[in-house]
Structure 1
């Protein structure tokens, strides 16, 4: 059986075909397309129709390549949603989490409900763009007309099949799921002016959503395709694609965001976890991803964009490798870097304000980011071990960041643990993992992770001697100060 992973991130989307052959997962890229939000009349919007059109285009390519039957699963980024009326029509364009409408929303919410109470209910970290704060400031007229609130991947699945669901790994990112009742928290729903009836039924990864609609088959030449609800939050899929084994490993899903954490059977929503602003995102197969959101390669992407992509990412990494390490640092999680008008000038202003040399060349700018990210990773590895009581001996870096050798080595040096880089297509593989299990081709996630280890090459980075982490961390802490947003 052939399986298709639709994996849509903040900067691009792809359709990957996977099949199990000779004890390995064989991947074939069917279609790739650009994605990104655009500013329309002062609001940052996703073009959901563009994404859907490219899913259809990819399926048409698949049919032309001779594939007549397959399964399909969709994952995307989290927290953003669609409002759909009783006739199944979208009421508005999808607003990006980087839109400035939530700049003050979290403060307003926390003025009504104490942060500690929200964390006790949900176990989700406080980020100003969580769905809770987006829905709090959402147009009340639109909410009144809403029949169904759908997270982005659920909405795309609805467009394909006509079936609406609420998949739990993505729903947990709303900061409105109650850890104890396993439902949307009534008090938080009341706070944002919604009720539980405006959400479709909950489903877990692995449930069959339905077949492509007859209408789509009438309009397009598509394969006979059954849509399986996978772990629709892309980080949830990425962690399923991490080839870890045993209980002493952590993951770092390195892309637009850096998500660093461990997979646990139960959440940790203690006061210490609250103070450290760690999150308990729901995972597939009754797991939780206890992790920290770190700003990630968004900083690099924006530096490249501000230079009109004059350098490739590989070229920028090569330039950075020749710069002095740890000469200049930034607090990577400062909210000023969430969506500035110009990332380069924002970094330079930060450096000027903290009395540091102002980085002006591409190499220096990228070096600042890599050094600062690696330090933050090391700090959070220590924090993670303290909060969980688990020793971490191995770090699996997955996603696009697995290709950045300089950052991977810096991470190994500063954490003092062995880093395994790869697979880069962990999200697609995790998406396919659920399809393989649901189709009966694999027994469980442990078996799929073994298949992934056999199927994809990984590069190992061992820590170097002579790195004074204490001095580097002190400098970073002094520069970055208190970064948490609540």
Structure 2
């Protein structure tokens, strides 16, 4: 069988990468050809993504995938995934209106509560099945509406970040199922935009594009783009355009008694379902129904993930301690265990800046000794995250009415052996870690399904097992974690 070669562009909230994925004889190999940061910047008081900077990096990544030693490679297709909820607006002329605003911008503060005065929380959840987070697209649009945004008034089309980049690559304006569902404006039962909800909130329905299934060929790469990137006009495929949807395709699970944690800036923990689970209890537990590849539902909870460690690292650097992630893991492994506990989803932790200071304030408010050094701070973050996983696992089992036997951790966070062992200990379940590049792998395998070289999602998962090293972590010190979890629950109730 000839070798298939796919380019997977994976853009995250901290970094992006262009990966050349080669599939031959049911084995997939990856070659990272380009990696870049995706920093945000402030302009006129608002936090924005650097759209032009990311776009230039995407093109550089395509060029590096297309050429090897001066020779042009045969590329079969391109797929691009990115984070959810954020978007760009397109004018009738086709121009991009402004620079997309970052989901961590403060414009949505208090907006969700104002929306509930117009449409009840219950009604929104019954319609969309999505977890309530101030960052959701729904509240971003209401914030723009309240500010009488001239950009919103001028817009003809809204495109989520991966859709926006696909538009720049192909000239085609459309959305994809998995990314559309993150918005809290999509009805997963009807597989359509939630028109009545949008009408009640007086939001412009006409700017929302058609929604295509995961794995759809958006169009061919524009001729001028192909020439600039030294490629042919290959198909551009929408994989699971939401990065987690692609990552879940690469979870090497078997049967139906496993759950996943897609571990990165955010931790997304959940299961795959055939249909949305929209009940009073799932609303109370604050779980979400997001679209998955193959029309499936990713029933999960969004958890503040390694963002806390990333922000600690940034703070330490500003104080003259430039520590890399392996060094932070080493220091945290040497720190005393289960000393201070925080709630990673505590609202002040979501905003960038001075996370160690915020942790100190949280500990003071809850009567705890605060961490004292980089190792202590990072260990507090990791242990608290592991306990949040336990709480989420308990909720999943209650909602599903069954016991989950194995936790699969994929994504960049799967490389943190300390966190993996903490998760196994806290949850009293085996943890299978890997692959770390799950999003790029899933992106490439969905391209393979579309192009006919991969038969199904199940076939894709068997390819993952054939191709990548997985590490297993067995539960060990569970009694100490049981006592700590009781403290964690008590501390959460104080906030």
TM-score class, shorter-chain normalisation, is over 0.9
In 2, the alpha carbon distance for the partners of 1:212 and 1:192 equals: 37
Instruction: Indicate the SS of the match to 1:18.
Output: strand
| Conservation of the 8 A alpha-carbon contact between 2:222 and 2:233 | no
Equivalent runs, 1:400-415 vs 2, <5 Å: 400-415=412-427
Identify the range of structure 1 (361-370 vs 54-63) with the bigger mean alpha-carbon deviation: 54-63
In 2, the alpha carbon distance for the partners of 1:140 and 1:186 equals: 21
| Conservation of the 8 A alpha-carbon contact between 2:62 and 2:229 | no
In 1, the alpha carbon distance for the partners of 2:206 and 2:269 equals: 34
Unpaired runs of at least 5, structure 2: none
1:244 maps to 2:247: no
In 2, the alpha carbon distance for the partners of 1:92 and 1:398 equals: 34
Aligned in 2, Cα 1:305/1:417: closer, same or farther, shift over 3 Å?
same
In 1, the alpha carbon distance for the partners of 2:253 and 2:379 equals: 29
In 2, the alpha carbon distance for the partners of 1:482 and 1:165 equals: 45
In 2, the alpha carbon distance for the partners of 1:473 and 1:217 equals: 54
In 2, the alpha carbon distance for the partners of 1:343 and 1:465 equals: 29
Map Cα deviations across residues 295-343 of structure 1 (whole Å, 9 max, x no partner): 0000000000011161111111111111221110001100110014311
1:142 maps to 2:151: yes
User: Equivalent residue for 2:275?
Assistant: 266
User: Equivalent residue for 1:104?
Assistant: 110
In 1, the alpha carbon distance for the partners of 2:167 and 2:477 equals: 53
Equivalent runs, 1:209-224 vs 2, <5 Å: 209-224=218-233
- Residue 220 of structure 1: how far off its partner (Å): 4.5
1:456 maps to 2:465: no
User: Equivalent residue for 1:30?
Assistant: 33
User: Equivalent residue for 1:50?
Assistant: 53
**Candidates 34, 38, 42, aligned match of 1:39:** 42
Identify the range of structure 1 (59-68 vs 188-197) with the bigger mean alpha-carbon deviation: 188-197
**Candidates 298, 302, 306, aligned match of 2:311:** 302
1:189 maps to 2:189: no
Instruction: Indicate the SS of the match to 1:137.
Output: helix
In 1, the alpha carbon distance for the partners of 2:188 and 2:112 equals: 21
Aligned in 2, Cα 1:54/1:192: closer, same or farther, shift over 3 Å?
farther
Map Cα deviations across residues 411-433 of structure 1 (whole Å, 9 max, x no partner): 10111111000000000111011
In 1, the alpha carbon distance for the partners of 2:430 and 2:409 equals: 11
| Conservation of the 8 A alpha-carbon contact between 2:181 and 2:188 | no
Instruction: Indicate the SS of the match to 1:53.
Output: helix
- Residue 62 of structure 1: how far off its partner (Å): 2.3
1:481 maps to 2:493: yes
Instruction: Indicate the SS of the match to 1:307.
Output: helix
User: Equivalent residue for 2:67?
Assistant: 64
In 1, the alpha carbon distance for the partners of 2:372 and 2:89 equals: 44
| Conservation of the 8 A alpha-carbon contact between 2:426 and 2:482 | no
In 1, the alpha carbon distance for the partners of 2:454 and 2:305 equals: 33
Structure 1 segments, 4+ long, off by >6 Å, are none
Query: RMSD of the TM alignment (CA)?
Result: 1.4
In 1, the alpha carbon distance for the partners of 2:324 and 2:126 equals: 44
| Conservation of the 8 A alpha-carbon contact between 1:69 and 1:224 | no
Aligned pair count reads 483
- Residue 267 of structure 1: how far off its partner (Å): 1.0
**Candidates 191, 203, 208, aligned match of 1:199:** 208
Map Cα deviations across residues 228-277 of structure 1 (whole Å, 9 max, x no partner): 11110001111111111111100001100011100110111100000000
| Conservation of the 8 A alpha-carbon contact between 1:83 and 1:147 | yes
Instruction: Indicate the SS of the match to 2:308.
Output: helix
1:232 maps to 2:232: no
Identify the range of structure 1 (414-423 vs 309-318) with the bigger mean alpha-carbon deviation: 309-318
Equivalent runs, 1:353-364 vs 2, <5 Å: 353-364=365-376
| Conservation of the 8 A alpha-carbon contact between 2:366 and 2:494 | no
TM-score, structure 2 normalization? 0.95
**Candidates 326, 340, 349, aligned match of 2:361:** 349
- Residue 169 of structure 1: how far off its partner (Å): 0.3
Instruction: Indicate the SS of the match to 2:226.
Output: helix
Unpaired runs of at least 5, structure 1: none
Identify the range of structure 1 (55-64 vs 385-394) with the bigger mean alpha-carbon deviation: 55-64
In 2, the alpha carbon distance for the partners of 1:465 and 1:357 equals: 23
1:132 maps to 2:138: yes
In 2, the alpha carbon distance for the partners of 1:385 and 1:482 equals: 25
Instruction: Indicate the SS of the match to 1:200.
Output: coil
Instruction: Indicate the SS of the match to 2:375.
Output: helix
- Residue 465 of structure 1: how far off its partner (Å): 4.2
TM-score, structure 1 normalization? 0.97
| Conservation of the 8 A alpha-carbon contact between 1:59 and 1:223 | no
Instruction: Indicate the SS of the match to 2:7.
Output: strand
